Amino acid sequence: MAAYEEDENWPEIFVKVYIEDSLGERIWVDSSHCKNFVDNIQTAFSTKMPPKSMLLQLQTDTGRSGGDISAGSSPHPSTPDEDDSQTELLIAEEKLSPEDDGQVMPRYEELSESVEDYVLDVLKDQLNRRQPMDNVSRNLLRLLTATCGYKEVRLMAVQRLEMWLQNPKLTRPAQDLLMSLCMNCNSHGADDMEVISNLIKIRLKPKVILNHYMLCVRELLNAHKDNLGTMVKLVIFNELSNARNPNNMQVLHTLLQHSPEQAPKFLAMVFQDLLTNKDDYLRASRALLREIIKQTKHEINFQSFCLGLMQERKEATYVDMEFKERFVIQVTDLLTCSMMLGITAQVKEAGVAWDKGEKKNLDGLRSFQNNIAAIQRDAVWWLHTVVPTIAKVPSKDYIHCLHKVLFTEQPETYYKWDNWPPESDRK
């Protein structure tokens, strides 16, 4: 290291021997005494690595949950010893590590293309070998983790990740790979959108691995601002497909918790897209919305969602929409459906108590009433300002929409599509 510390451009041979040792016995790649040298070589891959503290914390959390599968990830995956001792090894290595001497800086800017070509060739050769999945090297997964800065690596890895996560021999390095993949999905280009599409389809059952997957989803959202909208859209489309992932609602719940203001707006945009279809999607949209509210335990900003439904769209799909009048009427229906879905058990109890003359514990009821008032205000503004610019709604239908958002329309107009709310809740 000392001989090349001042050089900005390092020779490609360093990358080649790094890959050789990474796939082999990892004698020096995982050594604390070579850490600075390895860190400088890894600048060639432009990979953002999870901090070691994240690994230790996640392993601690996993231990509390009673599982023996780590939910963590490491920037320098440890040597392939027994998994149960990995945390202790990392802590010991941390204590034995000498003081970092030497800076970490990009060393392969001039050779970036040739280095990338070499790395991709090696990985493709390794992944395309005819071998049972059980024989895939844990060290290969560790190398993939370190090279996730390349979009091609992310795409190659995600297509096999579900099998690796479900293989007990590979679970821990596969979790590291999943975390690295999500942290580096930062281009929002065609390849990364394909990566996200594949991530959405991954089916996981063990609770520990599923919890880790949700942590990785959060990192994916942090990696690029546009990943949130893509995730929401793909999750909803998967939910409506024949190959529905049973984890969809849990993923959506994570998205809503991570971005409580923005996620409902993106969700509303997906519902708008559904209503622009030639086929009538209102019944399906109402059922989907009810399921989302139920599964996410009402943890959604209804006002943001409703405002998103009323947002004017400038895309060609909307400008040239064939059923504009139907679109306005159905958005109005979803607005009223959303307002009614905001009635939680606590709000219902407070309302019953209010009818009996009891005036205690009304904070929840007042908050609900204020939210409804804000949504109705926005809806009247939408009908007055936006609707006339996008559609020529017949006066009869226009007045129907106005009465409907103000809940002054005939009761049957609110439940005629799917008999919801049920009769017991219509009083």
Would you call 187 helix, strand, or coil by DSSP? coil
The answer, yes or no, to whether residue 83 has pLDDT greater than 60, is no
DSSP notation for 291-305: HHHHHTTT-S-HHHH
% of the chain at pLDDT higher than 70: 85
Domain boundaries, the chain: 262-427
Lowest mean pLDDT among 1-5, 181-185, 327-331, 388-392: 1-5
Q: How confident is the model at residue 219 (pLDDT cuts 50, 70, 90)?
A: very high
Residues 6+ apart with CB under 8 A from 324: 390, 391, 392
Nearest of 274, 279, 390 to residue 334 by alpha carbon:
274
The pair of structure tokens assigned to 18 is 């790094």
The pair of structure tokens assigned to 270 is 């997906």
Helix residue spans in 296-343 (DSSP H): 302-309, 316-319, 324-341
* CA distance readout (Å), 204 to 159, 227, 260, 280: 15, 21, 25, 33
Q: How many CB atoms lie within 10 A of CB 200?
A: 20
The answer, yes or no, to whether residue 61 has pLDDT greater than 90, is no
Q: Contact at 8 Å (CB) between 236 and 270?
A: yes
pLDDT, tens digit, for every residue of 297-354? 889 999 999 999 999 999 998 998 989 999 999 999 999 999 999 999 888 888 888 8
pLDDT, tens digit, for every residue of 246-302? 999 999 999 999 999 999 999 999 999 999 999 999 999 999 999 999 999 889 999
Which pLDDT value is given to residue 95?
Answer: 40
Nearest of 101, 108, 100, 102 to residue 16 by alpha carbon:
108
The answer, yes or no, to whether residue 146 has pLDDT greater than 60, is yes
Q: Contact at 8 Å (CB) between 166 and 199?
A: no
